[in-house]
Each structure stands twice: as structure tokens, then as C-alpha cells.
Structure 1
């Protein structure tokens, strides 16, 4: 059976405890990358995983100057708990809709960039999340919690042995 490509139909961004953050055309969710080292053995160079995940980064561009961004930034600074962001989206493929839910918690930075007359507003928000979780169609796909050393990917916690060794 030939499948058509998935299309992101719509996406909304919310800040927990405050409400709808605003409209966005583009969201960059964190890359899940492992730290690797190149070794030489047997006449070959090759990369080996070190069992360490790289720092998480996320960014999204808002199409409006919502004061909610500043309120969330202030609240996160005041409590030291950061900002909780929820991204809700819907994919469409072969007549079926599939939900996607991403949860991020961390500190945010704001880039209001250039303002140009007759141009759509672009307000960039970048985030260094210490927690990142994703559900697809209601099923947890991953959960990375950098404060508690948890890295669950497709139901497997890749850092459980590390926690057992050092705690």
C-alpha cells in the first residue's frame, strides 16, 4: 500500500498556567543527539556513542507580539522553575488525523528581531529545555528529563543503569 506523506494541518502553542501563546508557522523541536567520539582501531576511524546526550535546544517563531510571552518569561525567572510550553498539533495522512503533543520545560530567550513595515511579524522564542516529552496519537514516544537523568525513548530508559550506578 502506498501512503501519502503526512501533512501538519495545524499547530498551537500554550504556556501552562497562562494560556494560548500565539500563532506560529514554524516550531523547531529539540534534536535528540548523542555525544560521539572518533576512535581509531583496526585501521579504521569510527564514531562511538559515549552514552551522553547533547544539550537540548528548541525554537519557535510567533506571528504576533503577545504580552503572554513576557508574562511567562517573568514568571519563570521569579520562580526559577522556567516555563512550561505545550505544543499541540495534528497530522493528516490518507484520510486519518493523528495528534502530536510535545511538552517542554525550561528557560526562554526572546528575539524581537527586525521590524519592517508591510511585513508579517516575526518574534523568535528560543528555549533550553531541561524536560522534553512527545506523544504521538496518545502514545509516549520519548521523555528526556535532564534534571533527573531520565532518557526514555520508545519505552526504554537509556539512563536507568547510570542512575543505579551513581545514586
Structure 2
């Protein structure tokens, strides 16, 4: 008999930018989906097959503060260099003792930067969407996913699935 799994809870998540700027606590963080390109085989019994290629990775987060680091990153990112974001969270599971750390480093291109409508007495909300070219997700200090588009690296669960492809291409 399998033991019942206890749900995990995010206690809080902080956002940092460019290695130095603390942007605050994220109100909402959408960890990117890992979605594969598929090819359809048509016939009497059609199906889809995995191509071994990940689709473009998009992520979104919201924070309750406007900061000059956001605007600096927006400009630098669009016109000169990609700016890294770091997300750090604490994951708690009842009956499991201490909470474990979650971290996600993301570098990519800004897709959108949206500031909520100003309303007296209402909390500010800044929504940022990124197309992630680099993604590094760790839970309890263990690497879960590393996706590095520019260096053709795709590590999932500790296995580099692009190593043979890089070798085949002479890279």
C-alpha cells in the first residue's frame, strides 16, 4: 500500500534581479512549463510522438512594488544584455520537519512589463513576463532542471539529454 502524500505549501518567495537588486516578495510566480514539440503521424490510428525538442519557455511573476531596478533591467535587457532573475522560496510540508529551499534562476528576454492601474488605497501590482533562455530549478539544493538554450544544455533530473546532440554536432 502506498503512503498518502502530504501536500506542499509555499511559505514565501523572494525575487532578486541582476545579482544585487531585491525586488521583494512575489505575489505570484508561474514556474515555466516544460513542454515538448510533437510530430503527428497520421493514419487509421493517428498519434503524436515526442521530437526530443523542448518548446520555448515562458514565465510570469507579479510583485507589489515599483523599483528602479525593474526599469533598469527592462532597458538593459532589451538593448544590451540579458538580466538574470533569481527566485527563492521556502517549501513546507506538514510532518516533514524543516522547510526546504526552492530556487530558480532565469535569464531571458522581457515579453511584457505591466503596472496595474493606480487606485487610491490599492496595492500596486507589477506583472513581468519573460521568454526564458536559461532556466535552473533546484529543490532542497538538488538540481531538477537546467535549460540553457544558447549552450544547448537540457538537464532534467540529473541527466543531460543534449550531450549526445552536442557531440553529434561537434560542439
| TM-score (normalizing by structure 2) | 0.88
Aligned residue for 1:66?
67
Mean alpha-carbon deviation: is it higher for 55-64 or for 109-118? 109-118
Alignment of 1:150-161 (within 5 A): 150-161=153-164
2:169 corresponds to 1:166: yes
Contact 2:91 2:101 in 1 (8 A): yes
Deviation for aligned residue 1:117: 2.9
Deviations 1:59-110 (A, max 9, x none): 11111112220122233345x3311000000111024311101000112231
Cα distance in 1 between the residues matched to 2:164 and 2:81:
27
Alignment of 1:1-167 (within 5 A): 1-41=3-43, 43-78=44-79, 80-95=80-95, 96=97, 97-108=99-110, 109-167=112-170
| TM-score (normalizing by structure 1) | 0.90
Classify the secondary structure of the residue corresponding to 1:23. strand
Mean alpha-carbon deviation: is it higher for 24-33 or for 14-23? 14-23
Contact 1:56 1:129 in 2 (8 A): yes
Unmatched 5+ residue regions in structure 2?
A: none
Cα distance in 1 between the residues matched to 2:140 and 2:91:
10
Contact 2:109 2:132 in 1 (8 A): yes
Contact 1:18 1:72 in 2 (8 A): no
Cα distance in 2 between the residues matched to 1:86 and 1:17:
8
Unmatched 5+ residue regions in structure 1?
A: none
Contact 1:3 1:94 in 2 (8 A): no
Classify the secondary structure of the residue corresponding to 2:73. helix
The size of the alignment, in residue pairs, is 165
Deviation for aligned residue 1:163: 1.2
Mean alpha-carbon deviation: is it higher for 67-76 or for 124-133? 67-76
